[in-house]
Amino acid sequence: MHAPLFAALIRLADDHLILGHRLSEWCGHAPMLEEDLAMPNIALDLIGQARALYSYAGDIEAAGRDEDLLAFGRLERDYQNLLICELPNGDFAQTMLRQFYFASFMLLFWAEAEGSSNATVAAVAAKAVKEAKYHRRHCGEWVIRLGDGTEESTLRMQEACFVLEPYLGEFFAVDDVAIEMSKASILPNPQSLRGAWLADVCEVFVSAKLQAPDLTHAHKGGRQGRHTEAMGHLLAQLQYMQRSFPNMTW
């Protein structure tokens, strides 16, 4: 087994599954009907990307674990998603801002991964880059409209910036797995995307009349399986069905 590749795929898949699950919690609760379809659309894209990554990770591991077992059958400390993905949704402003941050990062990430030396990764990236492009556009437009909107929407968007800011630095943290992946030209080095990401965020923030985020203080631990208190509750809901009725299908 190629251990660093497996680890890198699991991280990426966990980011998408956990964030996709969070976003799906809005289904039936969105502030307007149109957005009640838009958010689950994005969630389904993310979960679709997670499926492709888990399946491939299962092939690489070659230990008989399929996408479902990897998605639903692990313990909390085995999940290696970014902490920002597991945070509770907060209000609509916070949800949209997080989604924008993530989509902006993933758009840069997938665009570079399209040229991966690994054919499967390149294929996943080619599909995901189109989806991320739309997510970034849709969520970015909301950030602008709420940031530069009414008095209340501006306050809420500023509050969202404040809440999410300490979780942004983790996007760009690098360790042995990330270095190995980038040396082998399989996945981009997250650190190298920082400048382009900040430029993209700032472009939207200028229109939204928001202050550029400060990345100096960053919570870390997600990549090592050390999660926030929100993660256990999320997994309880995410895993309930497979834990109660293992291998169930319908």
Partner 1 sequence: MNDTQEIPLWEVFIRPRNGLSHRHCGSLHAADSEMALQAARDVYTRRGEGLSVWVIPSAQIVASDPQDRDQMFDPSDDKIYRHPSFYDIPDDVGHM
Residues in touch with partner 1 (CB under 8 A):
31-35, 37-38, 41, 134, 137-138, 141, 145
Least distance from partner 1 to the Cβ atom of residue 59, Å: 29
The answer to whether 16 and 53 have CB atoms below 8 angstroms apart is yes
Q: Between residues 36 and 114, which has the closer beta carbon with respect to partner 1?
A: 36
- What's the N-to-C CA distance of the chain in angstroms? 32
Least distance from partner 1 to the Cβ atom of residue 33, Å: 8
The answer to whether 186 and 119 have CB atoms below 8 angstroms apart is no
Least distance from partner 1 to the Cβ atom of residue 201, Å: 19
Sign of CA dihedral 233, 234, 237, 241: negative
Neighbours of 244 (CB within 10 A): 8
Rounded to an integer, what distance in angstroms lies between the CA atom of residue 43 and that of residue 65? 24
Q: Between residues 32 and 63, which has the closer beta carbon with respect to partner 1?
A: 32
Q: Between residues 34 and 229, which has the closer beta carbon with respect to partner 1?
A: 34
Least distance from partner 1 to the Cβ atom of residue 138, Å: 5
Residue type, 244: S
Q: Between residues 72 and 134, which has the closer beta carbon with respect to partner 1?
A: 134
Least distance from partner 1 to the Cβ atom of residue 134, Å: 8
Q: Between residues 32 and 62, which has the closer beta carbon with respect to partner 1?
A: 32
Spell out where 100-245 has E strands. Answer: none
Neighbours of 110 (CB within 10 A): 26
The answer to whether 54 and 70 have CB atoms below 8 angstroms apart is yes
